[in-house]
Chain A
Amino acid sequence: MSEKKVNAIDVRNVTKIYTSGNAQTKALKNANLTIYDNEFFTLLGPSGCGKTTLLRLIAGFEDITEGSINLFNQEIVYLPPNKRPVNTVFQQYSLFPHLNVFENVAFGLRRLKKDENQVESRTFEVLELVQMREYANRKPNQLSGGQQQRVALARALAPEPKVLLLDEPLSALDLKLRQAMRFELKTLQRETGITFVFVTHDQEEALTMSDRIAVINEGEIQQIGEPEQIYESPSNKFVANFIGEANLLSATCKTPGENGVCELETGHTLNLFVPPHIKQNDRVTIFIRPERIKIEKSSNQKSQLIISEFTYLGNAATIQLNSNNQLINVNLPIEDLKVFKKGDFVDIQFPKESAQVID
């Protein structure tokens, strides 16, 4: 039985240009994406890539230069932020310093002119949800970072928005807290059923929390897909490098087509799917993750692959293979730690389906 997917947010051909004096910056170039209802959707990318800009456009804090944004099939670009049923959790929390926790969380409800009984019960309900009920009378400057973050979350959730926007909410927390909050946020999203749009530059965070991810770089959306898809089949070099570790090796296409063959500069050949636009003898880039490559001790000294770096990580090791100055990164599983050392000559194997051609 298939679920009917509802489009929560439709971003169509959105461009955002900032003008300062004579200088123009293109923060977003013709972005297109769809976010479904009840989805944990992440915008992932390095600093300045445009992910926060997109979030602000959805929230209504910025004007669109071109394009349209639909919220449940309603055009919202002409609406000011206070008319959009969308709420934001800010990176620095931005709690109102002159109001206590209760008043902060009740703020949205009061602006919506709900009657005071409703306001009170809903506020306490949502404070309970984030486990901050006892702090209702405290002022924000009396709270720790993690506590402020929960209040910010409660404040945004109280008015029951259709979509919750989160702008790198975990970046100011220390590691242990961050990991705990990741789990809590994920649970919260499942429990409330609200669409979460989450912005982060931390790819590990994106992979663990998201239903789907949009990878953005320099204002352009690079790839949209589920975490596994993005990890296993990155659509270009940027995504391959940004998510996890990647080997990007130059090769020549020997045989094009579905059962194609490419030859690495090391001399190894790979059987893999070659995209149709690649012809014989074209140069290509092969993408393969370090953990996919298998190595074994070289029986003959003829092998040109030598371990040039050996980095011990405790539960694993990463090694670098050097062949004619082409470097290949390989992850060693724990059982192989004692077998290999720097200076060893090795052979490598590329299991089937482990590599792909990337543009």
Chain B
Amino acid sequence: MNIQGENKTQNRIFALLPLWVVIGIFMIGPLLVMAVVSLMESNVYGGVHFKFSLSGYRQILFDTNLFDEIEFNPAYLIIIARSFMLALAATFLSLLIGFPAAYFISRQSNKVKNILIFLVTIPFWTNLLIRTFAWIIILGKGGVIESSFYFFGLLDEESSLNLMYTNSAILIGLVYSYLPLMVLPIYASMEKMDLRLLEAATDLYSNRIELIRKIILPLSMPGIIGGSILVFVPCLGAFIAPDLLGGGKKLLLGSLIQFQFSYARNWPFGAAMAMFLLALVILVLIFNARLNRKHREYANQK
């Protein structure tokens, strides 16, 4: 719509200026500054010396030992690997747990569906810290699980199950944090499934397993991919779960980065790790975009 006598471009720019200013200055700006800082030399008192240095990135892989020699340091690689593996595991578990639930909800009546989906969404809007904190009460020493074990005599009062500060605790925390984000996209793509297709399929396939494999899975694939991305990416950079449930013992990328800005005071290294995480996320998103395009082509062919 182009009404004569009105400068459309001017209006548009005027309307979008606040957006560009705010996000440009306070989102892109910080990212750029962080990139610069990752290439600076660290200042022991926190902050940086304004001097170019690759020490931030070098520290990811190498360390200087007592003899001033450079030797390979696997510690951070281990953290990166742990983050990646736990993120993958959390995604897979969320998929396992969430998929049947999404399917069940999508088969209910409209009224029930809406209520159930609302119940799925609520946790997403509450404070993640608090929700994760609840697991300390459950998993911790003297917590709900251990108390029940005491109660049933499975454990004596002195010892502990040591559930906290383990990879498994973090995993539970991660799954718990982002499970709704897996369910919602899968539910959305199941909603779009044509009932008639299922009806036709019932004639063709005699058992349920085939039905799942041949019809339900392929059709809900966009939702599965979407949900997986929505879980995987935040898990990669998660901070709360590893910090609360892993303590200082099991670091993940998120808690490692935060550590550089609180106790370790190694800004370039922290910035470098953050850049690395950002790059990882961008890669995953590009991969996701390719997958979506390929799947859309495939779906159109069908």
Interface residues of A, Cβ cutoff 8 Å to B = 60-64, 77-81
Contacts and interface: CB of A to CB of B under 8 A. Distances in A.
A60 B6 CA distance: 12
Nearest to B3: A80
Nearest to B4: A63
A62 B5 contact: no
B6 A80 contact: yes
A56 to B, nearest CB: 9
Interface of B: 1-6
A64 B3 CA distance: 9
19 contacts: A60-B3, A60-B4, A61-B3, A62-B1, A62-B2, A62-B3, A63-B2, A63-B3, A63-B4, A64-B4, A77-B4, A78-B4, A78-B5, A79-B4, A80-B3, A80-B4, A80-B5, A80-B6, A81-B3
Nearest to B1: A61
With most chain A CB atoms within 10 A of its CB, the pick from B1, B3, B4 is: B4
B5 A79 contact: yes
A61 B5 CA distance: 11
A79 B1 CA distance: 15
B9 to A, nearest CB: 13
B11 to A, nearest CB: 13
B259 to A, nearest CB: 49
B270 to A, nearest CB: 43
Nearest to B8: A63
A80 B4 CA distance: 6
A332 to B, nearest CB: 45
Nearest to A56: B1
B8 to A, nearest CB: 10
Contacts of B2: 62-63
Contacts of A62: 1-3
A78 B4 CA distance: 6
Contacts of A64: 4
Contacts of A61: 1, 3
A81 to B, nearest CB: 6
Given A62-B2, A62-B3, A79-B4, 17 more contacts: A60-B3, A60-B4, A61-B1, A61-B3, A62-B1, A63-B2, A63-B3, A63-B4, A64-B4, A77-B4, A78-B4, A78-B5, A79-B5, A80-B3, A80-B4, A80-B5, A81-B3
Nearest to A77: B4
Contacts of A79: 4-5
Nearest to A61: B1
B172 to A, nearest CB: 49
A62 B5 CA distance: 11
A61 B2 CA distance: 7
